[in-house]
């Protein structure tokens, strides 16, 4: 487990913009939604609760080139893959259904599979709960444990980071100068906040 400061996370996200279309959760009033990162971090809320748009919108797009003439190959992607930041455990749970429908049967959706393989997911613990939250009732915890590449847990001054995929581990290794080893007291802070949110 490692730690990344707020400032270094911003540096990392700027670096990711070279290879990915980076989407961050922002808050206007009481509404939370994803906005493409343009270098500005105003109104960004990586913690809190899930954004309004469902995660599936990034993997099953409303408009996408699905074929070129009668060629059997999947057409090349017209843009960069996406890095979606601040994804919550309840939204990640949708991958169980999406993967079963679009990837785990005889008839597979090659565009969905490509998006799952190429896109990067940086999830985050929920740091509060609102009236419409019900993850615990469905056996989901407010801290992602699967179907993510890297998870961020808010602590004082930054985030504890855990990698859950080879892609996530490779990203942390590649940019290791931005990360520090996590301290025991930071882990205790994270555990206290997780317990508070669950309560």
Cα–Cα distances in Å, from 76 out to 81, 157, 160? 11, 41, 36
The SS3 call for residue 23 is: strand
What is the rounded distance in angstroms from the CA atom of residue 168 to the CA atom of residue 13? 14
User: Nearest-CA neighbor of 144 among 126, 158, 159?
Assistant: 126
Q: What are phi and psi of 96, to 5 degrees?
A: -60, -40
Per-position pLDDT tens, the chain of length 199: 999 999 999 999 999 999 999 999 999 888 899 999 988 888 899 989 889 888 888 888 777 777 777 767 777 776 889 999 999 999 999 888 888 988 888 888 888 888 899 999 999 999 998 888 888 888 888 999 999 999 999 999 999 999 999 999 999 999 999 999 999 999 999 999 999 998 8
pTM greater than the 0.85 cutoff:
yes
The SS3 call for residue 2 is: strand
Q: What angle do CA 37, 159, 179 make, to 5 degrees?
A: 90
């Amino acid at each position: 487990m490692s730690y990344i400061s707020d400032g270094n996370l911003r540096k990392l996200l700027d670096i990711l913009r070279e290879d990915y279309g980076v989407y961050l959760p922002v808050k206007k009033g009481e509404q939370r939604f994803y906005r493409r990162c343009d270098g500005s971090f105003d109104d960004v809320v990586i913690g809190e609760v899930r954004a309004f748009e469902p995660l599936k919108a990034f993997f099953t797009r409303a408009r996408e080139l699905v074929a070129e003439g009668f060629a059997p190959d999947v057409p090349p992607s017209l843009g960069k893959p996406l890095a979606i930041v601040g994804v919550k455990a309840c939204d990640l749970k949708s991958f169980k259904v999406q993967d079963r429908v679009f990837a785990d049967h005889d008839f597979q959706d090659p565009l969905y599979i490509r998006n799952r393989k190429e896109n990067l997911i940086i999830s985050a613990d929920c740091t509060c709960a609102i009236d419409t939250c019900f993850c615990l009732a469905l056996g989901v915890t407010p801290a992602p444990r699967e179907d993510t590449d890297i998870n961020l847990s808010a602590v004082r001054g930054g985030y504890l980071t855990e990698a859950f995929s080879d892609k996530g581990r490779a990203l942390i290794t590649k940019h290791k100068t931005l990360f520090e080893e996590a301290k025991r007291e930071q882990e205790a802070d994270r555990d206290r906040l997780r317990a508070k949110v669950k309560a």
